[in-house]
Amino acid sequence: YLGLPLITKRLSKGVCSTLVERITARANSWVSKALSFAGRLQLVKATLLSMQCYWCNIFLLPMSTIKECERVLRTFLWGGSGRAKVKWADVCKPFSEGGLGIRELRTWNKALLLK
């Protein structure tokens, strides 16, 4: 089971709300600590994206869930609800192209399901 929903139909936004809640709770638990940008980036890559990656291996996530997860990641990475310093599309590029190496969640979900 491992925290995944046991359903036989396509995932809905309500079923995926547990994923968004878990990611939000984990990110909110770290916000109170004084973290540098590099520390927040490492936490996003190592922990928050891996939580969603686990679900992406099994299900095709609804677009609303993907957008909500990206919103939580953006807010945590930039340190609050203020304006972002760089567009999210640029952040999701590889290091060699000037990005931060965060994977784009839509394409990553489809790629994991093709395995």
Residue 2 domain-assigned?
Answer: no
Mean pLDDT over 69-96 rounds to 87
Residue 68 domain-assigned?
Answer: yes
Q: How many CA atoms lie within 13 A of 22 on its CB side?
A: 16
The domain tally of the chain equals 1
CA distances from 24 to 6, 20, 56, 97, 114 (A): 22, 6, 17, 29, 28
- Rg of the Cα atoms in the chain: 14
> What pTM, to 2 d.p., does this model score?
0.85
**In this predicted model, what pLDDT tens digit does every residue of 21-75 receive, in sequence order?**
999 999 988 875 678 889 999 999 999 999 888 888 888 999 999 999 999 999 8
Residue 90 domain-assigned?
Answer: yes
Residue 3 domain-assigned?
Answer: no
For residues 57 and 75, give the distance between their C-alpha atoms in angstroms, rounded to a whole number: 25
Residue 93 domain-assigned?
Answer: yes
For residue 75, the SS3 value is helix
